[in-house]
Amino acid sequence: MQDDNHPDAHTTRAQIAELLDERRAQVANDVVARLKAADIECTSPLIVRTLVHALAKAIAESAPDVVIHWSRMVRQAQPAAVVIAMIDAACDAAEELAAKDHGDLATVVVFLEIVKGRARAQLAEEPAANGDATSQNAIQSLLAILRARDDATCNHSRATGEWGRRIATRMGLDPRLVERIGKAGVLHDIGKIRVPDSILLKPGALAPHEWEIMKRHAEAGAEILSQIPALATYAPIVAAHHERFDGRGYPHGLRGDELTLEVRIVSVADSFHAMVADRPYRRALSYGEAIAALNDGRGTQWDSNIVDIMVTLAAEERNCSVDASLAAMMPAPLALEPRNLRLPGARL
């Protein structure tokens, strides 16, 4: 067997992973055809494409857990036997693709067998959960896939969810609606799983045709969620999170009251955190700059009332940060023992 640490083995794995990701649509269609031939019903090719991407990432990083996270997410929508069949078919397709293009594949074949075995063991031990546990497991699995793709996008998703919760809480909304908004915020960018790395991670401005591809992530995210029963309720929010209050957003040009309260809150939370976080193409804005941008978009890009709440929350956080920084800069109080204290006029 070829040494797994040998440079040639690493190069082969990297090449196979790259090829698999480049051809994920083609490979996904192949996997669906294999499953149909075996009389196994599965989800759409979109979900299978996310499996192919996860498998490519797992091969590149020698990390079977990437596929395990994917399996936990899909397990909320499919029986364990179907999920195992999907993984088996994807591994077989990857092995055939690799054999056709790269020759000596001993280490890759062994790795794919490890992935299959780990998935079977995991799914046998973890029956599908119910209720809130089901949705939370599915969300965490989707985030694991997103993190494997781009850590910054995953962090932004979590932050958007937290800001959405804070806005909803400040508005005095029902706790169940607060939780719904928080989860929708966490999931809002999940469609970026489908955006090519050359666009998602591009360090400069996007060309017009690249921007059109990027804009599809909202609908792609909704399509992914609609196929997972525990998360389907969040699909309409994710689909509309780039709509604008004045109707100039995408993908459908919704406006005003056509936007649900959840969409309006997630949109503001998403925009604010996007502004104050570093992006591949620009530095992070200061809180002051972001607050000014939000105020500029009141009533046009965003709901004015929600902007006002976000501005208040952002200003409070900025002030707390400033206070904490000032406190950290202050010298520690001088500790004096009583015998060293001399007060004016005191008799000691």
66-84 residue pLDDT tens: 898 888 877 766 788 888 8
pLDDT at 294: 95
**Residue range 32-51: mean pLDDT, rounded:** 80
**Residue range 123-145: mean pLDDT, rounded:** 70
Element (H, E) at 179: helix 175-187
* pLDDT at 347 > cutoff 80: no
* pLDDT at 6 > cutoff 80: no
pLDDT at 309: 96
**How do residues 251-276 score in pLDDT, each as one tens digit?**
999 999 999 999 999 999 999 999 99
* pLDDT at 204 > cutoff 80: yes
Which tokens is 123 given? 């799914």
- CATH 1.10.3210.10 in the chain, residue ranges: 151-327
- The CA distance from 73 to 330, in Å, is 49
Q: Which residue has the higher pLDDT, 309 or 338?
A: 309
DSSP string, 122-160: HHHH-----HHHHHHHHHHHHHHHHHHH-HHHHHHHHHH
- N-terminal to C-terminal alpha carbon distance within the chain: 87
Q: Are 184 and 266 in contact (CB under 8 A)?
A: yes
- The CA distance from 13 to 8, in Å, is 9
- The CA distance from 66 to 50, in Å, is 11
pLDDT at 105: 63
Domain topology for 151-327? Hypothetical protein af1432 (1.10.3210)
- The CA distance from 223 to 6, in Å, is 41
pLDDT at 305: 96
- Closest listed residue to residue 268, CA positions, set 253, 249, 282: 249
Q: Report the percent of the chain where pLDDT is more than 90.
A: 39
pLDDT at 76: 67
pLDDT at 249: 96
Side chain identity at 344, as an amino acid letter? P
Side chain identity at 91, as an amino acid letter? C
Rg (CA), the chain: 25
Span of 7-16, 169-178, 182-191, 220-229 with lowest mean pLDDT: 7-16
**Residue range 19-34: mean pLDDT, rounded:** 87
**How do residues 150-166 score in pLDDT, each as one tens digit?**
889 999 999 999 999 99
Our CA dihedral for 239, 241, 247, 249, rounded to 10 degrees, sits at -90
- The CA distance from 255 to 231, in Å, is 25
Question: How would residue 44 be classed by pLDDT, with cut points 50, 70 and 90?
Answer: low
Of 28-42, 221-235, 293-307, which one has max mean pLDDT? 293-307
Q: Report the percent of the chain where pLDDT is more than 70.
A: 83
Residue 279 has φ and ψ, to the nearest 5°, of -120, 160
* pLDDT at 340 > cutoff 60: no
**7-128 maps to which CATH number?**
1.10.490
* pLDDT at 88 > cutoff 50: yes
Question: How would residue 341 be classed by pLDDT, with cut points 50, 70 and 90?
Answer: very low
* pLDDT at 10 > cutoff 70: no
Q: Which are the catalytic amino acids?
A: 192
Q: How many CB atoms lie within 10 A of CB 92?
A: 15
DSSP string, 317-332: HHHHHHHHHHHHHSPP
pLDDT at 213: 93
**Residue range 212-240: mean pLDDT, rounded:** 91
- The CA distance from 309 to 315, in Å, is 10
**How do residues 164-188 score in pLDDT, each as one tens digit?**
999 999 999 999 999 999 999 999 9
pLDDT at 43: 59
Question: How would residue 141 be classed by pLDDT, with cut points 50, 70 and 90?
Answer: confident
The dihedral through the CA atoms of 332, 333, 334, 336 has a sign that is negative
The dihedral through the CA atoms of 276, 261, 306, 241 has a sign that is positive
- CATH 1.10.490 in the chain, residue ranges: 7-128
Q: Please give the mean pLDDT across all residues of the chain.
A: 83
Question: How would residue 120 be classed by pLDDT, with cut points 50, 70 and 90?
Answer: confident
* pLDDT at 313 > cutoff 90: yes
Helix 131-149 crosses helix 175-187 at what angle (to 10 degrees)? 30
pLDDT at 211: 94
